[in-house]
Amino acid sequence: MTQTSGAYEQSRLTPDRLARLATRVETGGDRPSIPVQTPITDTEIGTIPACSDDDIVAAVDRARQAQSAWAETPVESRAEIIERFGDLVDEHRDNLLDIVQLETGKVRQHALEEVVDIPATCSYYASNGPAELTDSGRAAPIPLLTSASVTYDPVGVVGVISPWNYPLTLSLTDAIPALLAGNAVVCKPDERTPFIALALGELLEEAGLPDGLFQIVTGEGAAVGPALIDNVDYLVFTGGTETGRTVAERAGRNLIGCSLELGGKNPMVVLDDADVETAARGAVTGAFTNAGQLCLAPERIYVDEDRYDAFLDAVVSATENLTLGHSFDYGPDIGSLISGDHLDSVREHVDSAVEGGATVATGGRARPDVGPNFYEPTILTDVSPDSRIICEETFGPVVSVVPVSDAEEAIERANDTEYGLNGSVWTSDRDRGRAIAREIDCGTVCVNDPYAVGWAAIDAPMGGMGDSGLGRRHGPEGIHRFVESKTIATSRIGPLDTPPSVPHSVTARALTGLAAVQRRLSRLIR
Ligand code: NDP
């Protein structure tokens, strides 16, 4: 039974609204209910069905049926619907912010980052996607006598498995290019944060997306994930590295493509010429956005020893000015963690660092007086290079600050990890920053910004190296995942073989001569 919580009363939501959203999940009969809690108060805000394997198969079937007509719809018409959806997200901003905040416990300005991201992604792909999907001519083996071109067919049905930390952005940011490319999407949001994906499904329908093209299935990942992966044609997964390995193994067995956006242990490098106040502001924004539950957040800061003391003072002082709390208006700086289990995991990371000799420069405590799952923004120093806090993702409001002797040591330490998602370099010389960025083994490296400048460059690919994942979202790469490239090659002279009346030795001379001319021509063109 759904209990109302104080959180509901503060928001503009009602239990009925969330209950109506839950009815959008189609099941073949009564299914067990999964309770959904708000981390703000740990009280139940609604329930969702635990879909069965048959429900997943039926959702993919409905998606597949709708997809063939959608693939025939001109891409310009598909782009109009995507653009209209972006407008609707913007129009319904307040309502969406309330749902995101209630489900995740994040503060309003951090929820806003999610809400503004979707219209921008819609506009980008509505404007640039059609050109990426247009047939393109390619160099053919014998100019004039042969030709080659590439067409891009949708893969079919794309599965999206999304996490709880950015449930709005990460349920839709990949679905948008997938739909634009002519696919259907079946999305499985995290069981802790299902309502925002359901609300977005409602808006896609209002934008004119034909029935069946965007389906939502709900349930525990380990229970519904396998059936989803076994039935879709491509899978996008965003979540933890270990789950990513399980998902990739299954996708591999099914020989379907997948992209994996996984965890990180993101380094931030503060050089000897960095402006300390700017770098400290960036560290605080980056490490504590969404209470640190951001895959791109810096968790390790390597600071040139000449700047270390001044940087540490500035970052500690800026952190101590942050306010913890919850409000459905813009107010507090840092919100709740997602759950008690996650709070315990963050606390364990900090406690084990302290047992290993780390010093808490500020923070380091849970704050039950603010709410059941709040943890203070925390800065650690004196951490050892092989401690958990340096090697494993914490995914909470905790960052370690480490002095280094020079840029070379900073790069070496930054790269001393299995992860490679996002890094940043801080310097007053941007050229130097870009040169050092090239040395850091991450899918994205930002100069003088912790993450937003890289994420918001939607035209540029984003993703991880090593244990941080496979494949890229955003940019042309982000839509090419969702199409099969098909080459159509044509000969004007029939089969490229030896005509019966010509001796093989003559053909051999002609072929080698032709190849030599081609090589010479291509060198001239270069
Ligand atoms: P999980 O990997 O536990 O969960 C992510 C999603 O996978 C959830 O929807 C979950 O469902 C589902 N899932 C769980 N087990 C399986 C399975 N066996 N098969 C298929 N799906 C499954 O990660 P978290 O939810 O804890 O998310 C945090 C992690 O995500 C962090 O490591 C973070 O770094 C990473 N992340 C990466 C991002 C990126 O872009 N690189 C962005 C955001 C987060 P359910 O929970 O409902 O059981």
d(CA 215, CA 198): 9
d(CA 76, CA 487): 23
CA angle 397, 399, 401 (to 5 degrees): 160
Cβ atoms within 10 Å of 94's Cβ, excluding its own: 12
pLDDT of residue 497: 84
163 alpha carbon – ligand 1 mean position (Å): 5
Percent helix, percent strand, percent coil in the chain, to nearest 5 = 45, 20, 35
pTM of the entire predicted model: 0.95
Per-residue pLDDT of the chain (526 residues; tens, 9 = 90+): 344 457 777 788 888 999 999 999 999 999 999 999 999 999 999 999 999 999 999 999 999 999 999 999 999 999 999 999 999 999 999 999 999 999 999 999 999 999 999 999 999 999 999 999 999 999 998 889 999 999 999 999 999 999 999 999 999 999 999 999 999 999 999 999 999 999 999 999 999 999 999 999 999 999 999 999 999 999 999 999 999 999 999 999 999 999 999 999 999 999 999 999 999 999 999 999 999 999 999 999 999 999 999 999 999 999 999 999 999 999 999 999 999 999 999 999 999 999 999 999 999 999 999 999 999 999 999 999 999 999 999 999 999 999 999 999 999 999 999 999 999 999 999 999 999 999 999 999 999 999 999 999 999 999 999 999 999 999 999 999 999 999 999 999 999 888 888 898 998 898 899 888 888 888 887 7
Backbone phi, psi, residue 438, to 5°? -65, -25
d(CA 127, CA 114): 21
d(CA 188, CA 224): 8
SS3 of 205-232: HHCCCCCCCEEECCCCHHHHHHHHHHHC
Give nearest CA residue, ligand 1 atom 12.
221
d(CA 403, CA 379): 14
d(CA 124, CA 213): 21
Give nearest CA residue, ligand 1 atom 21.
221
Which atom of ligand 1 is closest in space to residue 464's alpha carbon? 41
Catalytic, 295? Answer yes
Single out the residue of 339, 326, 329 nearest to residue 112, CA to CA.
Answer: 329
Give nearest CA residue, ligand 1 atom 14.
221
Catalytic residue selected from 122, 187, 258, 295? 295
243 alpha carbon – ligand 1 mean position (Å): 7
298 alpha carbon – ligand 1 mean position (Å): 19
- AA identity, residue 208: G
d(CA 368, CA 47): 26
263 alpha carbon – ligand 1 mean position (Å): 9
Give nearest CA residue, ligand 1 atom 31.
240
Give nearest CA residue, ligand 1 atom 46.
190
d(CA 125, CA 250): 29
Q: Tokens 């999305």 label which residue?
A: 187
Domains of the chain and any CATH numbers: 7-262+476-483 (3.40.605.10), 266-461 (3.40.309.10)
239 alpha carbon – ligand 1 mean position (Å): 3
Give nearest CA residue, ligand 1 atom 40.
261
Give nearest CA residue, ligand 1 atom 42.
295
Which atom of ligand 1 is closest in space to residue 192's alpha carbon? 47
Give nearest CA residue, ligand 1 atom 39.
261
pLDDT of residue 1: 36
Which atom of ligand 1 is closest in space to residue 473's alpha carbon? 40
Single out the residue of 301, 395, 398 nearest to residue 339, CA to CA.
Answer: 395
With a CB cutoff of 8 Å and minimum separation 6, the contacts of 260 are 237, 238, 244, 247, 248, 464, 469, 470, 471
With a CB cutoff of 8 Å and minimum separation 6, the contacts of 365 are 375, 376
422 alpha carbon – ligand 1 mean position (Å): 18
Q: How far is CA 474 from the centre of its chain?
A: 9
32 alpha carbon – ligand 1 mean position (Å): 22
pLDDT of residue 5: 54
Helix residue ranges per DSSP H, 334-379: 340-355
* Three-state SS at 270: strand
Which atom of ligand 1 is closest in space to residue 295's alpha carbon? 34
pLDDT of residue 14: 86
d(CA 23, CA 16): 11
Single out the residue of 259, 210, 207, 206 nearest to residue 232, CA to CA.
Answer: 259
Q: Which of 190, 299, 341 to mutate to test the pocket of ligand 1 (most atoms within 8 A of CB)?
A: 190
Catalytic, 261? Answer yes
pLDDT of residue 519: 85
Catalytic residue selected from 113, 261, 299, 376? 261
Q: Which strands make up the sheet holding 136-138, listed edge to edge?
A: 136-138, 146-154, 483-491
Rg of the chain (C-alpha set): 26
Query: Which residues line the pocket of ligand 1, CB cutoff 6 A?
Result: 161-166, 170, 188, 190-191, 220-222, 225, 238-240, 243, 246-247, 261-264, 295, 393, 395, 421, 464, 469
Range 317-345 burial, b when 16+ CB lie within 10 A, else e:
ebbeebebbbebeeebbbbbbbbeebbee
Q: What is the DSSP string of 14-58?
A: -HHHHHHHHTTS--SS---EEEEEETTTTEEEEEEE---HHHHHH
CB 91 within 8 A of CB 6: no
* Three-state SS at 308: helix
CA dist 238 → 179, 311, 501 (Å)? 18, 33, 61
238 alpha carbon – ligand 1 mean position (Å): 6
